[in-house]
Each structure stands twice: as C-alpha cells, then as structure tokens.
C-alpha cells in the first residue's frame, strides 16, 4: 500500500471528536508513514495549549498559525496528518491539503457528543449547548468536508483499528481515479 501511495501524504479531516488524531496515529503505523497532528505541532511550537491560544489570540489568531503550520507540513512526504476540525474553513488551506490525499472521517453528531461531552480541551465546545454547537458546526462545514477525496462513514461500534483498515482498503479506488483523470 505505501508503495502504491508513492509517499503521498494523507490528510484526515472531519469534526472534533471524529477520531482524526486516534485513527491517524494507527494509519501511519500501518503505512510505515510518519505521523503529525497539526494541533500538537501548534501547541508545541507556541508552548501553550489550544485553549490558551484561543483565549489569547482568538479563533482568528489560531487559524493563522494553523495555516502556517499546514504550509510547512505539506513540503514533507510519507506523512499521515491529523488536522484540526476547522482546517477546512480557509480557502488557502485547500491548496495545501490537495498536495495529498484528503480523507473525511464522517461521524454523526450523537457519537461526537458522546465522545466529547466531558472534554475540556476543545474551546469551541465550551458552550451552554455543546451538542447544538456540534450540530451547527457540522451543518456549516459539511459542504467543505465533502470536498475530500475519500469519505469514510463511521458508526458507533467501529474501533479505531477497524476504521484505519477501512481507509487503507478504500485508498486504491481513489488512486485509480486520480490515475485515470
């Protein structure tokens, strides 16, 4: 599989709680790829948590750093990259993402909410109605996530390992399309 991919990076996109970080890590191991999480790169470089960056620089400040990090990351090969859920919002980010293969982890809101109900590390969910917030973010972002090369629908029973295998099995179909087009 990794020879079929020829070093092309995989970018995981999707909502907060979709499992991009968890699945991305496993996927990289399976493919013999390196693994990067844009949120981790941002937090390590700033020596601050994502919550602190949002509090100090606002969402706009965070988005600028996120774009800067993505621009750097896409000059490397053989990487599986877990992105932050909002990476799809800026048009310029798509020019970076399209250097690789973009995989959307599509997970229903009730599952996202169950996973993140007790989580305090997502500043956008520190809201009176986190489930409603997830619903409105997903509605707003669905047309953007839909631009991925590959959409992987996930149900509540699937383990991260099963999802990683599902992605690996689906990759040849998109590579074939790319070769034909």
Ligand X SMILES: Nc1ncnc2c1ncn2[C@@H]1O[C@H](COP(=O)(O)OP(=O)(O)O)[C@@H](O)[C@H]1O
Ligand Y SMILES: O=C(O)C1=C[C@@H](OP(=O)(O)O)[C@@H](O)[C@H](O)C1
User: Out of 5, 24, 35, 39, which residue is the one contacting ligand Y (CB under 6 A)?
Assistant: 39
Q: How many residues bind ligand X (CB under 6 A)?
A: 14
Q: What string marks each residue from 72 to 111 as x (binds ligand Y by CB under 6 A) or -? A: ------------xxx-------------------------
Region from 2-10, 70-78, 86-94, 152-160 binding ligand X, contact rule CB under 6 A: 152-160
For residue 103, what are the β-bridge partners? 12, 150
- If one asks whether residue 21 binds Mg ion (CB under 5 A), the answer comes out as yes
Q: How far is CA 92 from the centre of its chain?
A: 16
Task: Examine residue 50 and tell whether it contacts ligand Y (CB under 6 A).
Answer: yes
Q: Is 160 in the site for ligand X (CB under 6 A)?
A: yes
- The DSSP 8-state label assigned to residue 127 in this structure reads S
Answer for the pair 122, 49: CB distance below 8 angstroms, yes or no: no
User: Within a 10 A sphere around the Cβ of 70, how many other Cβ atoms?
Assistant: 24
The DSSP 8-state label assigned to residue 87 in this structure reads: G
């Amino acid at each position: 599989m990794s020879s079929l991919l020829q070093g092309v990076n995989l970018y995981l996109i999707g909502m907060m709680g979709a499992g991009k970080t968890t699945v991305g890590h496993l996927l990289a191991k399976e493919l013999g790829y390196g693994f990067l999480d844009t949120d981790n790169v941002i937090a390590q470089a700033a020596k601050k948590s994502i919550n602190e960056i949002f509090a100090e620089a606002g969402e706009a400040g965070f988005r600028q750093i996120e774009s800067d990090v993505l621009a750097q990351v896409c000059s490397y090969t053989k990487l599986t990259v877990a992105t932050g859920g909002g990476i799809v919002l800026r048009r310029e980010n798509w020019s970076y993402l399209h250097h690789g293969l973009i995989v959307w982890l599509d997970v229903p809101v009730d599952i996202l909410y169950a996973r993140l109900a007790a989580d305090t590390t997502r500043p956008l969910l520190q809201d009176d109605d986190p489930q409603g917030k997830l619903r409105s973010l997903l509605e707003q972002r669905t047309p953007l996530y839909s631009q991925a090369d590959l959409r992987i629908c996930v149900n509540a029973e699937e383990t991260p390992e099963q999802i990683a295998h599902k992605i690996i099995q689906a990759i040849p179909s998109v590579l074939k399309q790319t070769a034909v087009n």
